[in-house]
Structure 1
Amino acid sequence: MNTGIGASSGIGIGKALLVYEPEIVINNDKIYGQEAQAELLKIQDAISKSINQLKEIKKKSELNNNQEAADIIETHISLLNDPVLFESIESNVIEKNMNGPLAVNEAINQQVLIFDAIDDPYIKERAKDIQDIGNRIIHNLLNINPQEIFQLEEAVILVGKDITPAQMALIDKTYVQGIVAEIGGETCHTAILARNMEIPAVLGVKGICDLIQKDVLIAIDGTKGTVEYDLSEETLMEYKEKIQQDEQAKKELSIYKNCVTRTKDGRHVELGGNIGLPQDVNSVFEYGAEGIGLFRTEFLFMDTPHLPSEEVQFDAYRSVVEKMGSKPVIIRTLDIGGDKNIPYLDLPKEENPFLGYRAIRICFDRIDIFKSQLRAILRASAYGNARIMYPMIASVEEVIQANAILSEVKSDLLENDIPFNSKIEVGVMIEIPSAAITADLIIKEVDFFSIGTNDLTQYTLAADRMNDKVRYIYNSFHPSLLRLIKNVIDTSHSHGKFTGMCGEFAGNPLAAIMLLGMGLDEFSMSPSSIPKIRQIINSVSYSDAQKICDEVMELSSPNEIEAHLKERLSEILNSII
């Protein structure tokens, strides 16, 4: 048995179909003079061909009602249409005398490095998008045809180093029973599309391509993250029984996509979705979110060679706010620095960027950037229920300073008769321990809190979640974290205000009842996680959740807490998570 990351739940059984990327061999031949212009024409033709190919894939996705795939393919088309990409390629050809494939590869690698260095898995995924379109251009330059994996006649499990969004968009769900890949995780596009298509997936299975041969019968468990081959009859029967159980569970879960989130004794909580681009709103609606608890705005700044104008930002924010109607949209102001470097800002290199010049600290230093974004958000607030959230707040002084700048922007809009919601709600992310400890001071200056558990966990435990050597320490079930979270929630309630959570912990089924018992008002997560969390919350009374929370707060280790929650959740749902 091999293990990886359970990226899309369910059981899949089928023959292994090995998926591979055609080998790319790029030589270092130099080109000069008129050859350069001819090479640029070939590159333009390859880009045009790539765009047309993706348009066909998008069309097929839409015909198959796979809007999630169509949106991702549209993002790839936008990247291919980006003039900055061609300018970079052109520079490599003209100034560095690179041949076409080499020039494309070099330009793509430069962009990949920027996104690949970022800790946030959502933003990191953009590196893979860029690599995918780069490979497509080079394939077309070298006349390399992609592998045909779509004319299927029997049940298969796709096995490969990676399964790209373009490949995912074309697969036939009738025959593809599962996906196994050596790379990828829960937030990658392969995982998102697999969940949307309800295809089991296990990703991050190192070396699996060397272990499994074509047509070998394999079974995967996308919940546990396991892959088995050389199956005995007994094992095969066990998997088939699990498939029947899963089908029943899916039917039960489907009713929770579009219903109110309310406990058995009537307490309502809000389940929101996290997004990074305007087109992500489609998945928010697909899974029945009651709002957007986190709109990451970094992509607007990272997908361009220069600062996005106020108008560009306004258009993006307005499109989301308008689509959401009366539902809340919490827009986080710029959170760059740390691992999110933007070349045109020329941010200084730091020994410890996570504790340095980032997020609100950059905004205070570059007030022009901050004011432009605040103006865009305020203008968008005239079209729906927008809210503003400041990231990386360490003290009440920072909140007062940010609000003073916001007041200046509001005054300017009023003087120029530009409409906006003058009563727009303003909140802060609680992701630094000092903010969690002084929540009683900060709450007086804001309308709400949103807990960012990813950073709060690593800052509290002094454990980098991306460092394999200390990852065992990083655990949001640690008693210290739970006490900080409860203090933040209790403090907001004592002032008649609300607390949400937009870190990964909010979408963790094991944590749901405990967080509910703490009094968390809003859970914001990857949209595909919403039905499961809603099922859990709707299956318990708030009073019982409070009792479970009290039990947990008496325990002294993450392992004890997780074991206790697993037992209590199993009792409530009659199934072990």
Structure 2
Amino acid sequence: MLTAPVTTSKKLLKDLRDIIGRYPDARERLQQVVKAIATGMVVEVCSVYIKRPGDLLELFATQGLNPSAINKTRLRIGEGLVGLVASTAQPVVAANAWEHPNFAYRPETEEENFKSFCGVPLLLGGRVVGVLVVQNIKQRHYNDDDIEQLETIAILLGYLITSGDLIKPEEQVGSDGIGLMPTRLTGLRIHSGLAIGRAFLYNAAPRITRMMSDNTDEELARLQKALDEMHVSISGMIEDAANDMPVAAGQEHVEVLESYRLFASDKGWLNRIRESIRTGLSAEASVQKVHNETRARMNLINDPYIRARLSDLEDITARLLQHILGEETLMARHIADQDFIVIARDLGPAALLDFDRKRLRGVVLEEGSQTAHVAVVARALDIPVVGKIGDALRRIESGDSLIIDGEGAEIYIRPGEEVIQSFRENIVLREKRKAQYAAARNLPAITADGVPVSLLMNAGLPIDIDQLDATNADGIGLFRTEISFMTYGQVPGLAEQTEFYKQMIDAAGYRHIVFRTIDVGGDKPLPNMPHHAEENPAMGWRGLRLALDMPSLLRQQLRAMLRASKGKRLQLMFPMVAEIAEFDAAKNLLDMEVRRFKERGEDLPSQIAVGAMLEVPALLWQLPALLKRVDFLSIGSNDLIQFLFASDRGGARTSLRYDALSPPVLRVIRNLVEECDKAGVPLTLCGEMAARPLEAMALVSLGLNRLSMSASSIGPIKATIRQLNVAQLRAYILSLLDSTEHSIRGKLKAFVADRGILIQD
């Protein structure tokens, strides 16, 4: 059944290759390309829209629409079906385009006769540079083969558009250009620290010029040779990292690189590349095509833990392309004999190890996240990383003088000498803080006035469990079970889940581990499950809502947990609980599974503790009933705070608008602590709030003594807690809770500074 589309695709790709070689004029070449696509795919219309400054999509070539509309018809990103393709970086198919809610009519195109629509994004380096569209007069249901063929052609068009022949390079960026005045930009703190150096602009992906090949066997051999070389290179890198890094850095970075090596061996990824080669693409074009498709899918997921794996994908793709094309690695391309700071769109964990570590001082990323693996390697190298600096590669020139303030998540471009001198003094102060953190590494988390605090880890993969010994954490306060579902590519079966949970429990050893039942849906689609876009995915069909609507999914997971924990203590909690009835329904499913085990004579856990995640504010008014039902309660501070303020924590304009150290948030936490203490129910906080020293001090002073955070945060939090006098800070914070101020952060900073407490904040 698949033979005909593959054959058609190969013939069309050959025709396009001939056209590219035959027409020297870029516009005529593009026009002939769309004409050939229309003929080869049997469509009445084929059009190419190119992204221009100002987030506009301009019609650049068409076969079938009114040719006078070329360079006149423009749509904004998100406007019309074409704009929808660009905004989502996903294919859009409509059998009757006029009935689609996003349809936008442009009379100058004279497209009123065309009903069916299929559009795919033109991607380069994961960014949308245009849209390829085909249309038919009669209703046509474009199938997966049609979409696959268009996506393959889109790879070729993406490079044609950005070659510089069709659009001048300066027209492909925004209109504000590159300034030369001193500038300060604020982003996201990925790893703290201070650094001074010269800018090195890093673009990992080599440029692909050879898109197609007639010799499939030769391309498959080129791919395999490059894979073999890459694995040897990665193995050498891991060995060097294990031997050359300071002992104080621990082995977390080595474990990250090991997982990176497993990522590079993923069978599904490699099989998709080989399948693309068999359609007539070259090895390098196939790697890029699969990368674009995978990146587009992962971009639909807003979960920061999962999205952080995008940087690993980017790095592995670039590294494989370098081996296929025989290009040099980065080591020969950095700024010679100068301290330098790398500027990149994103980085994987291995990329940093390509540079001269004696000269590398820091990293600035246009993207990036706090859960990215590059943060782990940066910590081992002890260099600051700041992410979310929009258009950094455009706004910074190679060789510019730079300062990175990782703690303040700021970068200074072309700073004056006074600013540089001030930061040099701060670097000396930071060295003093580092020595303090190192001294506290193996000490208990007890405050200066004798209050013990339990520091727990958040986890989701086996590599996270490995950090228990390295950090001396008391256990896993939150194990995100949905992460393992995402890595399978399909919903794992009972046997697979049972084995996975058993491995996690065994790896945790004597330390306890709390499993959160599957929290998918919304912005975390379940593999092989239809995904429907929602306007507010964080408040949509997700978490326990989805699980209760798919009880067989939840029952299978609960059955796997019970089986994996036989003879041991099982702790699990349900996410996104909004009302008591939801918790009761989920608990009833667990009780059904327990009865099933007893009836079958199967061994059960020695103890079962059931809790709930408090993320939805509605539960705050149901606490008395809830606390009678749960064995423990965990605050999901990330969601709870965004729901309290109705403020999207992922939004560029809203994520920093409200502060966790605001009086309303702290009053909610104080009340929760008091109610849980009365009921004798243990309370934990899992979220970013626990991972920041100033916030952690406030939480402990309010009586919340169980904090769960990323492994990298335990050292700084422990060092902070050991300096804290809880009684003093508690009295001060309680006096501020009735304040109407936006935040008490400034006052808390002054409080700790007056008492000589050193914090990394």
TM-score normalised according to structure 2 size: 0.70
Larger radius of gyration: 2
Matched, 1:80 2:258: no
Which residue identity is paired with 2:369?
A: G
Partner of 2:731: 547
The equivalent position to 2:430 in structure 1, one of 225, 246, 260, is: 246
C-alpha distance after superposition, 1:291-325 (max 9, x if no partner): 11111122211112321123332333333322322
Change (3 A) 1:119 1:485: farther
The separation in 1 between residues aligned to 2:644 and 2:551, in whole angstroms, is 29
Shift of 1:491: 1.8
Partner of 1:449: 633
The equivalent of 1:321 in structure 2 is 505
Task: Give per-residue Cα distances to partners, 1:92-138, cap 9 Å, x unaligned.
Answer: 344x5433333322222222223222222121112222232222333
Deviation at 1:54, TM superposition (A): 1.9
Segment drifting more, 328-337 vs 163-172: 163-172
Q: CA offsets, 1:50-103, max 9 Å, x none?
A: 333222222222223563232222223222322222332333344x54333333
Could you tell me which residue of structure 2 aligns to residue 130 of structure 1?
313
Match of 1:115 in 2: 298
Amino acid at match of 2:670: K
Residue in structure 2 matched with residue 142 of structure 1 by the alignment: 325
Q: CA shift at 1:269, angstroms?
A: 1.8
Match of 1:395 in 2: 579
Alignment partners' CA distance in 2, 1:104 and 1:432:
42
1:353 equivalent to 2:537? Answer yes
Matched, 1:182 2:366: yes
Match of 1:475 in 2: 659
Matches for 1:13-412 after TM superposition, within 5 Å: 13-26=196-209, 28-29=211-212, 35-65=215-245, 67-94=251-278, 96-148=279-331, 156-161=339-344, 162-171=346-355, 173-210=357-394, 218-228=402-412, 230=414, 234-382=418-566, 386-412=570-596
Residue 261 of structure 1: how far off its partner (Å): 1.5
Amino acid at match of 2:373: H
The farther-off stretch of 150-159 and 136-145 is 150-159
1-structure distance, mates of 2:326, 2:596: 56
- Quote the Cα distance in structure 1 between the aligned partners of 2:337 and 2:237: 22
Moved more, 65-74 or 104-113: 65-74
Return the alpha-carbon distance in structure 2 between the equivalents of residues 19 and 470 of structure 1: 30
SS at match of 1:257: coil
C-alpha distance in structure 1 between counterparts of 2:758 and 2:449, whole Å: 22
2:199, 2:398 within 8 Å by CA — same for their partners in 1? yes
In terms of fraction of residues, the more helix-rich structure is: 1
- Alpha-carbon shift at residue 337 of structure 1 (Å): 0.6
> What is the identity, as a one-letter code, of the residue corresponding to 1:145?
E
Q: Deviations over 1:369-411 (max 9, x none)?
A: 2122222322333476542111011111111111121122223
Assess, with a 3 A threshold, how the Cα gap between structure 1 residues 419 and 571 changes in structure 2: closer, same or farther: farther
Which of 363-372 and 13-22 deviates more? 13-22
Match of 2:452, SS state, is: coil
**Aligned twin of 1:517:** 701
User: Quick one: structure 1 residues 364 and 228, their matched pair in 2 at CA, closer, same or farther if it must change by over 3 Å?
Assistant: closer
Q: State the number of aligned residues.
A: 572
1:414-473 Cα deviation digits (max 9, x unpaired): 445544423122111100011222122111111111111111122222121222344454
The C-alpha deviation readout for 1:515-559, integer Å capped at 9, x for no partner, is 112221311112211122222322223322321331231211333
Q: In structure 1, list runs of 5 or more residues that go unmatched.
A: none
Distance 2:251 2:748 in 1: 36
Work out the CA distance in 2 between the residues paired with 1:150 and 1:441: 63
1:179, distance to aligned residue in structure 2 (A):
2.7
Mean CA deviation greater in 362-371 or 225-234? 225-234
SS of the residue 1:303 aligns to: helix
Corresponding residue for 1:495? 679
Question: Distance between the aligned counterparts of 1:151 and 1:354, measured in 2?
Answer: 42
Equivalent position of 2:9 in the other structure: none
Q: Tell me, what secondary structure is at the counterpart of 1:553?
A: coil
| Contact 2:208/2:284, CA 8 A, preserved across alignment | no
2:568–2:606 Cα contact (<8 Å) kept: no
In structure 1, C-alpha distance between the alignment counterparts of 2:400 and 2:539, rounded to whole Å: 50
CA distance in 2, matches of 1:473, 1:181: 22
Residue in structure 2 matched with residue 537 of structure 1 by the alignment: 721
Greater mean deviation of Cα atoms: 246-255 or 3-12: 3-12
SS in 2 for 1:81: coil
Unaligned 5+ residue runs, structure 2? 1-182
**Alpha-carbon distance between aligned partners in 2 of 1:443 and 1:201, rounded to the nearest angstrom:** 42
What secondary structure does 1:329 align onto?
Answer: strand
Secondary structure, counterpart of 2:557 in structure 1: helix
Q: Distance in 1 between matches of 2:735 and 2:301?
A: 38
TM-score computed with the length of structure 1 as normaliser: 0.90
Cα distance between partner residues in 2 of 1:245 and 1:417 = 63
2:439, 2:459 → 1: CA distance? Answer: 23
Aligned counterparts of 2:538 and 2:637: Cα–Cα separation in 1: 15
Tell me the alpha carbon deviations over residues 253-286 of structure 1, each in whole angstroms, 9 at most, x when there is no partner: 2122222212233221211111121111233432
Tell me the distance in 2 between the aligned counterparts of 1:15 and 1:468. Answer: 28
Q: Assess, with a 3 A threshold, how the Cα gap between structure 1 residues 368 and 355 changes in structure 2: closer, same or farther.
A: same
Contact 1:433 1:459 in 2 (8 A): yes
Matched to 1:59, the amino acid is: E
| Alpha-carbon distance between aligned partners in 2 of 1:382 and 1:247, rounded to the nearest angstrom | 48
Query: Between the two proteins, what is the percent identity of the paired residues?
Result: 29
RCO comparison, higher one (Cα < 8 Å, 6+): 1
Cα distance, 1:26 vs. partner? 5.0
The CA distance in 1 between the partners of 2:217 and 2:708, in whole Å, is 51
1:2 equivalenced with 2:184 (yes/no)? yes
- For 1:112 and 1:384, locate their aligned partners in 2 and report how far apart those are by CA, in whole Å: 40
Q: Displacement of 1:340 after TM fit?
A: 0.5
Amino acid at match of 1:539: Q
Asked if the contact 1:186/1:192 (under 8 Å) is kept, the reply is no
